[in-house]
Amino acid sequence: MATTYVLIPGAGGDAAFWQPLVAELCRRGHDAVPVQLPAADEESALPEYAAVVRAAVDGHDDVVLVAQSLGAFTAPLVADHPAVRLLVLLNPMIPAPGETPGEWGDATGHGPARAAYAAAQGRDPDAPVDLAVDFLHDVPDEVAAPLLAGDRASESESVFTRPNPLRRWPDVPTRVVSGRDDRLFPLEFQRRLARERLGVEPAVLPGGHLLAMSQPRLLADLLESWRP
């Protein structure tokens, strides 16, 4: 039986991020719906993102929501949809109820965790986030090239500062997938956050922050093993 995977991107809101995973899921006979979010629109924030994702879920049955990074703030706002059977968070910014994305970094200790991991690897712990170094270090050249050649999609400030309407985590089974080699959100940082905020142990795949690009087959295998 085919499953519909509704795929929520991270910062920048670009549905194209999911292309390698979409191809892999469709090859296996599933329906994959990558969502394009209005990330550059200053009038849009989490409620508007949730409305776009909810519209993508409408009309489908047996939906698995998969949310990348910042997308973990949007996914729980949609998980009450009757079609959603499972929520999968991928290298996620797991929110606490009411917490905004702008508050998340200080609340979780992300900055020190990232710096410590960089230092342990012999990289500059004070270096700013860099697309090639922090995101694309394990992505195949042919997949990374368009991202490096073009302008990176922007994220409006609104999503970081406007209130988060989440009041409690939804009553839907939730899984977390963490990249063993994620330089942005180091593995031990992700493990701590998943345990503290969701009481779950992440599944770990080899690869960095963009597993849907670097490890689409392994990620699809894992998603299929969790099908409701």
State the pLDDT at residue 153: 67
CATH number at residue 209: 3.40.50.1820
Q: Which domain holds residue 122?
A: 4-225
- The phi, psi pair for 57, rounded to 5°, reads -75, -35
Distance CA 28, CA 25 (A): 5
Q: How far is CA 79 from CA 17, 57, 149, 187, 192, in A?
A: 22, 10, 35, 25, 23
pTM of the model: 0.96
Q: How far is CA 210 from CA 32, 139, 161, in A?
A: 17, 8, 25
Across residues 168-177, what is the average pLDDT?
Answer: 97
Q: Is it the case that residue 71 has pLDDT exceeding 80?
A: yes
Total domain count, the chain: 1
DSSP β-bridge partners for residue 179: 205
Give the least confident one: 143-152, 156-165, 169-178, 216-225.
Answer: 143-152
Instruction: Give tens-digit pLDDT for 78-113.
Output: 999 999 999 999 999 999 999 999 999 999 999 999
Distance CA 53, CA 170 (A): 16
